Amino acid sequence: MRLVQLLVACAEAVACRDRAQAAALLRELQVGAPVHGTAFQRVASCFVQGLADRLALAHPPALGPASMAFCIPPSCAGRDGARGEALALAYELCPYLRFAHFVANASILEAFEGESNVHVVDLGMTLGLDRGHQWRSLLDGLAARAGAKPKRVRVTGVGAPLDTMRAVGRELEAYAEGLGMRLEFRAVDRSLESLHADDLGVAADEAVAISSVLELHCVVKESRGALNSVLQTVRKLSPRAFVLVEQDAGHNGPFFLGRFMEALHYYAAVFDALDAALPRYDARRARVEQFHFGAEIRNVVGCEGVARVERHERADQWRRRMSRAGFQSVPIRMAARAREWLEENAGGGGYTVAEEKGCLVLGWKGKPLIAASCWKC
């Protein structure tokens, strides 16, 4: 409780630009929130770094040389080096991305039922995650479906580093060949904001599905124009399924303190789940906490303007936005299958699955973490 009070008091001081009070509280927090402590101490350490970043950007000399490691502005969109390694570990150790891929693929397979020419567009390529995990699983599903396999499968990647996408494409083409299918992979070297429907080369005889996993929140800006542009581009493709998976969290509010408290509750649940799964001194756990989730926290807390890209919003907000953009909900009704998947892949205990207004929501002890929804035109 004392640690929570210190964090809130420090956030209030930072919000009020009370440099002296904030710096004093940060020094106390840096002692009381070790990175290898309890689950809450570990998550608190990430918030301490975010608060220090925010204070340092407003008052560079505030904390003195001893604390300058906390004051370096985070690389808000970095996806290489330590963060890339942490993402790969998060995929392995946490169920969120694998669950997202499982649910997305189930919706896509349903949309592709009976189709011989199919085309998947991957917005963001799951944050640049290599190996093409999601599409290997989809190819397995297409190869095993009742009736004939598709005559042609196309996968188009957008929004990740070109070299990464091309490497994934080569692996997927070889994997599909081993399953007796022909796959064509194409990498589009454009950001999501600048994407046009013509860039994707969709053929008239193709059934199209769009997948966006933990990606579109990065396109949410104050003006909303960039996101609206992406949604209108997707709509022009008339997809059979547009699967959207996002963090179910209110981290994009207009007021810093509200955003801070929302993020603290959300990531406390994430770190509690990690604590239940991994020992305290597991080096992999520390890397995931500090370089994956910690990077998100530092962005939510420490960045503003165009640098703040982790603009997570609630499922209800996404639902309204998608409806306004002209999409119709395709309810995802597979809670029982999802619970079976969790039992097999995440131990089941602690994680919850709920169907809410057409979405499938994965939570930890009832706290919503990610929500999957499916849409069509």
pLDDT digits (tens, 9 = 90+) for 58-82: 766 544 433 433 333 343 344 457 8
3-state DSSP: the chain helix, strand, coil percent, rounded to 5? 55, 15, 30
DSSP 29-88: HHHH--TTS-HHHHHHHHHHHHHHHHHHHHSTTTT-GGGGGGTSPP-TT--SHHHHHHHH
- Cβ atoms of 153 and 176 closer than 8 Å: yes
Of 136, 128, 129, the closest CA to residue 89 belongs to: 129
Of 311, 355, 324, the closest CA to residue 337 belongs to: 355
Tokens of 233: 């581009």
Q: How far is CA 310 from the centre of its chain?
A: 9
Using the 8-state DSSP alphabet, how is residue 1 labeled? Answer: -
The CATH class, in words, for 94-249+313-331+371-376 is: alpha beta
Which amino acid is present at 102? Answer: F
Q: In degrees rounded to 5, what are phi and psi of residue 251?
A: -105, 20
Please count the helices (runs of H) and the strands (runs of E) in the chain. 14, 9
Average pLDDT, the chain: 92
Quick one: which H or E segment has residue 354? strand 351-356
Question: Looking at residue 318, what is its pLDDT?
Answer: 98
Residue 154, SS3 per DSSP: strand
Cβ within 8 Å of residue 253, ≥6 positions away: 259, 262
Work out whether the CA dihedral 351, 95, 288, 302 comes out positive or negative. negative
Q: Low-confidence residues of the chain, pLDDT below 70?
A: 59-80, 348
Tens of pLDDT along 246-266? 999 999 999 999 999 999 999
Question: Looking at residue 348, what is its pLDDT?
Answer: 65
Tokens of 78: 């970095």
The whole-angstrom separation of Cα 29 and Cα 47 is: 10
- Cβ atoms of 360 and 309 closer than 8 Å: no
Quick one: which H or E segment has residue 337? helix 335-345
The whole-angstrom separation of Cα 290 and Cα 298 is: 10
The whole-angstrom separation of Cα 273 and Cα 251 is: 20
Spell out the domain ranges in the chain.
Answer: 2-73+250-307, 94-249+313-331+371-376
Question: Looking at residue 181, what is its pLDDT?
Answer: 96
